[in-house]
Structure 1
């Protein structure tokens, strides 16, 4: 009876784990969409390493949702094949996440360089309507002006800076470049600081998900052993 009760506990713990795992998948999807909207939505970054990161996060979140649903069904129905498949998929996801974390650390400088290059190219082509909208959106969001500072606009514009640099945006306000009218600090450093601040949150979410995954693998292995041994888990 003790063993049967223990296995029943494992079954319900695994079910709860998969529910939390499903929530973590939703969290990843939300994070991926926010990053995609915040950065790639304002600048069309051509680097695969930089532009693909949020897409990979979204894809992993979708896969996690699928795997969590699979694990819930396997645990509730006490299906050895489904629980085994769930365990294998969870281990593979865990390994992929480790590889992605290592790749992100290795290519972090390339991502920053790609973003800086794209920002400067977008500024150079500001007169094109699409690029103007992109750079204006970014400058309004981060309350900045230019790449390094507002003077980056002087070679490109003869009558001041874009109106999106203004503290209070009004028509032609960018012609007055005094500090009380426009933001004089550059965007690149502010964006780098934003990425640096938010990487701590991303790392915390990733660590929490990794802990859930390890617990899930342990629960699944114990449940597999119980099912294979023929113990009844009700």
Structure 2
């Protein structure tokens, strides 16, 4: 059924808005895939120290973003195609997926907000355990692994040290730092999850 006048304008406006929605889904999907496969992020999260894996809670949020991006692209496509074809079935499916997508995004936002403290604390605790082992002067066998963990943190987050160390620890920490700065990772983790 062909439309004319104001209805035709609404048809093309719906197409245009859904095309923007489809593009936004593609951007979200692309950023999420980049975060998942970025070498610096992967290097930081695949570390193992004393049989303990780096906290993988970060990956949960990345997988949620991948899912949301893919669903947004599907919903955007259904909306575009349904608007052009003037199909009530496709537009109904579009609306159904739009409601589901909104519920998923709201749930993901609430989950991320509620767990940001947990994620940052897990990363900081993992860093602190490696930091203590790396500064161990007794020659612990795990010292080399701890130094590798610290190097990955320092390179990825552009930080070093803990920020509240004594002069002796600060001197030892400078040997582990790739940069001249001793800004603690707690500040960098806080910046990532709270801003």
Superposition TM-score, scaled by structure 1 size: 0.62
Contact 2:45-2:56 within 8 A present in 1 as well: no
What do the CA deviations read for 1:92-120 (whole angstroms, capped 9, x no partner)? Answer: 10111111112222222112112212323
Deviation at 1:151, TM superposition (A): 6.5
- The answer to whether structure 1 residue 43 and structure 2 residue 51 are counterparts is no
The whole-number CA distance in structure 1 between the counterparts of 2:4 and 2:83 is 15
What do the CA deviations read for 1:73-107 (whole angstroms, capped 9, x no partner)? Answer: 11111111111001100111011111111222222
Deviation at 1:31, TM superposition (A): 3.3
* Structure 1 spans left out of the alignment, 5+ residues: 168-181, 198-234
**Residues 14-163 of structure 1 aligned to structure 2 (within 5 Å):** 14-36=14-36, 37=38, 39-44=41-46, 46-47=54-55, 49-123=57-131, 124=133, 127-128=144-145, 132=148, 135-148=150-163, 154=169, 161-162=175-176
- Equivalent of 1:188 in 181, 186, 189: 186
Query: Relative contact order: is structure 1 or structure 2 higher (C-alpha 8 Å, sep ≥ 6)?
Result: 1
Deviation at 1:154, TM superposition (A): 4.6
Are the structure 2 counterparts of residues 148 and 159 from structure 1 closer, same or farther at C-alpha, using a change threshold of 3 Å? closer
- The answer to whether structure 1 residue 166 and structure 2 residue 178 are counterparts is yes
State how many pairs are aligned: 176
The whole-number CA distance in structure 2 between the counterparts of 1:31 and 1:153 is 42
The whole-number CA distance in structure 2 between the counterparts of 1:57 and 1:51 is 10
The whole-number CA distance in structure 2 between the counterparts of 1:94 and 1:42 is 32
Are the structure 2 counterparts of residues 46 and 135 from structure 1 closer, same or farther at C-alpha, using a change threshold of 3 Å? closer
